[in-house]
Amino acid sequence: MTNRVWMVVVVVFCLGSSLAVCAQERPKSQRYVPQPYRTGRSVVMAPNGMVATSQPLAAQVGLDILRRGGSAVDAAIAVNAALGLVEPMSCGIGGDLFAIVWDAKSKKLYGLNASGRSPYKATREFFRSQGLKEIPEHGPYSWSVPGCVSGWEELYRKFGRLPFKEVLAPAIAYAEHGFPVSEKIAASWAAAAPKLGKNSESARVYLPHGKAPKTGEVFKNPALAQCYREIAADGAAAFYTGRIAREIVAYSDRQGGLFTLKDFRDHTNTWVEPVSTEYRGYQVWELPPPGQGIAVLQMLNLLSGYDLRKMGPTSPDYWHLFVEAKKLVYADRARYYADPDFAKLPTAELISMSYAQQRRKLIDMAKARIDHPAGDLKLGRSDTVYLTVVDKDRNCVSLIQSNFHGFGSQHAPASLGFALQNRGNLFALDDTHLNRLEPHKRPFHTIIPALVTKDGQPWLVFGVMGGDMQPQGQVQILVNLIDFGMNVQEAGEAPRIEHVGSPTPTGKPGAANGGTILAEDGIPESVIAELRRRGHQVKTGVVNGGGYQAILIDPTTGMLHGGSEYRKDGCAVGY
């Protein structure tokens, strides 16, 4: 493979009543080609409102809400509800939610942590009594309380306009009458079928006729429609104190889980102050722990000391720097990121430029380091949805929502029609770890929304899905836009690398020698060869974590520019 041109042709059909603009393939004569990469979609441009997410029907639902006068938050909730139906392996009301909102009126950013906590019965002693050294990846012991529905209510109370029933109506209609399963979602569904089939209730919900629905097959979920109706009528109370909570706890009792009604009654959200760093004149905003968003800020701080623009996207120096910065930051992540309600975390120190200057001295441009502490390898697999909405008033929503693994815990109560997340799997059972399991505690989280401002105004609302890959993906997007001058579509379609695993201390038997780089098709062979010469292990293949979605607000024209990459079924739509 020699400087292979990376070409993906994706045709996205816009559905629904609105005359939406969709990303389509451009004629060759009109394509801008940031060699050796080539994008298969045009940037979507619109003057009024825009939605970008990973499934076209869900994107159209949000656009219709905007056209009816709904706020960006109204549209985001409508999109999220639709995604919980049409992309159920990745998200749903059995999972957690994080959001960053720009309020155009007050010119202020708001951060919401709507993640749930461990059951009160979940103690390290209990797991030891079961002979477990780690929390299982799937099953009832991996559960934490879902925070999604409470997140919808918090966002709606603060920023909603339309009646809540109107916001959820499109998702209810699709759940009742059915929708055609899209291509990449069908593939993920089929891959999860063997595990879903091991649980009779999950199979009743997600394996009609004993099989996962194929591409184009119509899928209905009347049990989920009923849950949405109850939430539309009674708000979050329907989920945390009503029938839905009682059904979850009853299911937990049948499966040997630890949930009680008190776990749901005591659930609360947290409005948090987003944190930021300046990168080349842009202010990049993330949410503080227990999420991993500050890893993006730490990596950018390290990279800011180098002239990446001069290096360019095909330089082995750039990719070497990127990986070495990632190793340093993920060593910190493994040690310091946890629930701030249970420990005092050095967040301000970690994202300071003085700390980056100190850590930057550890980067050797000639060779890969192999002596950083190991990260948590459980973070690599994740199913998540990201969505972004900007309305006509330029209110902005950056929202990410997840079940963690595909279909979460693999458990979906048949009477409810949604999977319960397995986010509790990310707790440690080590008594000395900051992220150790304790009752009613939030686990470390991988899902991170992001927003960038320029001169005090929103410039980019974006996110990248994919567990451990999310900070790595966000940094690559920002470097593509800011340093390499790509547009919002090219930045997402350019080939990526992912560094998997962190090295263990030297001297240990079987110690990792710096982890492994996964390089996507389109990374030049010359770059791969040079990285190997410097001591990196490199494999070629598809990285974990596609699903970049973004809306850029042009500071000169005020127009909206949308990008939605080929790695998912989705699109950007605007009016």
Q: Which residues are catalytic?
A: 384
Strand partners, 518: 498, 539
The span from the CA of 343 to the CA of 423, in Å, is 20
Cβ 320 vs Cβ 368: under 8 Å: yes
DSSP string, 191-260: HHHHHHTTSHHHHHHH-GGGSPPPTT-EE--HHHHHHHHHHHHHTTHHHHTSHHHHHHHHHHHHHT----
Those residues with Cβ within 8 angstroms of residue 112's Cβ, 6 or more apart along the chain or in another chain: 97, 98, 99, 100, 101, 151, 154, 155, 269, 270, 271, 272
The span from the CA of 515 to the CA of 497, in Å, is 13
Those residues with Cβ within 8 angstroms of residue 129's Cβ, 6 or more apart along the chain or in another chain: none
Q: Three-class SS string for 497-517? A: EEEECCCCCCCCCCCCCCCEE
Closest CA to 389 of 42, 23, 52: 52
Q: How many residues comprise the chain? A: 575
- The secondary element (H helix, E strand) that includes residue 562 is strand 560-564
The span from the CA of 390 to the CA of 403, in Å, is 25
Those residues with Cβ within 8 angstroms of residue 343's Cβ, 6 or more apart along the chain or in another chain: 434
Does the CA dihedral 71-77-81-82 come out positive or negative? positive
Count CB-CB contacts under 10 A for residue 59.
Answer: 35
Closest CA to 82 of 103, 102, 62: 62
Cis? peptide before 36, omega within 30° of 0 = yes
The span from the CA of 212 to the CA of 209, in Å, is 8
Strand partners, 551: 461, 562
- The secondary element (H helix, E strand) that includes residue 386 is strand 383-390
- The secondary element (H helix, E strand) that includes residue 533 is helix 525-533
The one-letter amino acid code at 346 reads P
The span from the CA of 127 to the CA of 388, in Å, is 39
The span from the CA of 427 to the CA of 143, in Å, is 11
Cβ 79 vs Cβ 58: under 8 Å: yes
The span from the CA of 512 to the CA of 502, in Å, is 7
